[in-house]
């Protein structure tokens, strides 16, 4: 079971689109995947086809110590599993104020889930994908401390793309003291418009900056990707032949290949 966080404190760069569609892509490749929504906006929840206002239980219950992950997992219409989020998650840092180790709540919950998978009490997921909010707050820190499969950073190739990156890198570096497995798994270019000169320049700059950490797959700006959430579907279910769907399938392949390479390296 690999735990991967999708994070970038910049808003609207395609985190949720990547979380939902990478999950669907991995699922389509026969992987067992759990998508955890860790954003009070609940966009990954609704994008995966769950009604965020009618969740029987959510990640907020886990964060408040009232439930384990196993108790809040729901099946999505697409066939992968989801732990949903909604407005109940907002203000959680205030609710947790004064308690100890609040940064490790999700890490502990994930450790329990792994134990339960060992005992066959829950599906032994290949991947757990966590969609983060556009912030470096307590929730995002919880996600980063829960990962062992690294952080995937979606980046839009625009002028300000690299701004704020220092904060993100610094946060990751600091948190490595608490989670030695924390690392950047890869950077994925999103909302890409190949006809745009600036986008190409920024893309080249990202390659210089991140080198091998760049995914080869580039997610194009694709209207089907923007439409799919309104239908409560990953783009693979909404229009499997679209450029957006194909791109996320390719990204899923790259992520699986990374895992395979890691296993080979360990042997
Ligand atoms: N490749 C794409 N092509 C077209 N539209 C896209 C693409 N990726 C994302 N979008 C649209 O752009 C908007 C922002 O995307 P998304 O919600 O995935 O970003 P986010 O980083 O999760 O945002 P937030 O920071 O608010 O959580 C959404 O309306 C989404 O449908
Ligand atoms: Mg989002």
| CATH code for position 114 | 3.40.50.300
Residue 264 above 90 pLDDT?
Answer: no
pTM more than 0.95 = yes
Q: Which residues pair with 190 in a beta bridge?
A: 156
Mean pLDDT on 95-119: 97
pLDDT of 162 higher than 90: no
Counting atoms of ligand 1 from 1, which one is nearest the CA of 11? 25
Q: Is the CB of 12 under 6 A from ligand 1?
A: yes
Total number of domains constituting the chain: 1
Confirm or reject: Cβ of 219 under 6 Å from ligand 1: yes
pLDDT averaged over every residue in the chain: 96
State mean pLDDT over 141-170: 92
Give the Å distances, CA to CA, from 62 to 37, 132, 163, 196, 256.
Answer: 12, 16, 33, 43, 28
Instruction: Pick the residue whose CA is nearest to atom 20 on ligand 1.
Output: 12
**CB of 37 closer than 6 angstroms to any ligand 1 atom:** no
Sign of CA dihedral 247, 248, 249, 252: positive
- Is there an atom of ligand 1 within 6 Å of 189 CB? no
Task: State the distance from the centre of ligand 2 to the C-alpha of 264, rounded, in angstroms.
Answer: 33
Closest CA to 16 of 37, 40, 31: 37
Q: Is the CB of 194 under 6 A from ligand 1?
A: no
Range of the domain at 167: 2-266
Residue 183's alpha-carbon distances to 85, 157, 217, 255, 260, in angstroms, are 25, 22, 20, 14, 17
Which residue in this structure is represented by tokens 């992987």? Answer: 31
Distance 17 CA to ligand 1 centre (A): 6
What are residue 153's DSSP bridge partners? 187
Q: Is residue 181 predicted with pLDDT exceeding 90? A: yes
Angle made by CA atoms 53, 123, 62, in degrees to the nearest 5: 40
Nearest atom (ligand 1) to Cα of 43: 17
């Amino acid at each position: 079971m690999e735990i991967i966080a999708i994070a970038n404190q910049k808003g609207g760069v395609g985190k949720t689109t990547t979380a939902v569609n990478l999950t669907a892509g991995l699922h389509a490749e026969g992987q067992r995947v759990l998508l955890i929504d860790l954003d009070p906006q609940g966009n990954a929840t609704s994008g995966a086809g769950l009604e965020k206002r009618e969740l029987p239980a959510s990640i907020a219950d886990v964060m408040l110590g009232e439930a384990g992950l196993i108790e809040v997992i729901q099946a999505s219409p697409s066939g992968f599993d989801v732990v949903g989020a909604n407005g109940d998650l907002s203000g959680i840092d205030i609710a947790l104020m004064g308690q100890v180790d609040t940064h490790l709540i999700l890490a502990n919950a994930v450790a329990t889930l792994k134990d339960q998978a060992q005992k066959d009490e829950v599906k032994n997921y290949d991947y757990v994908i966590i969609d983060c909010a556009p912030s470096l707050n307590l929730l995002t820190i919880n996600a980063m401390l829960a990962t062992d499969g690294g952080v995937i950073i979606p980046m839009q190739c625009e002028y300000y793309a690299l701004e704020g990156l220092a904060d993100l890198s610094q946060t990751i570096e600091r948190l490595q003291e608490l989670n030695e497995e924390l690392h950047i798994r890869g950077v994925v270019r999103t909302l890409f418009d190949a006809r745009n000169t600036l986008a190409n320049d920024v893309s080249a700059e990202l390659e210089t900056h991140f080198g091998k950490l760049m995914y080869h797959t580039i997610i194009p700006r694709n209207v089907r990707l923007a439409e799919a959430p309104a239908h409560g579907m990953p783009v693979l279910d909404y229009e499997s032949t679209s450029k957006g769907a194909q791109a996320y399938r390719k990204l899923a392949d790259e992520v699986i290949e990374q895992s395979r390479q890691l296993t080979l390296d360990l042997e």
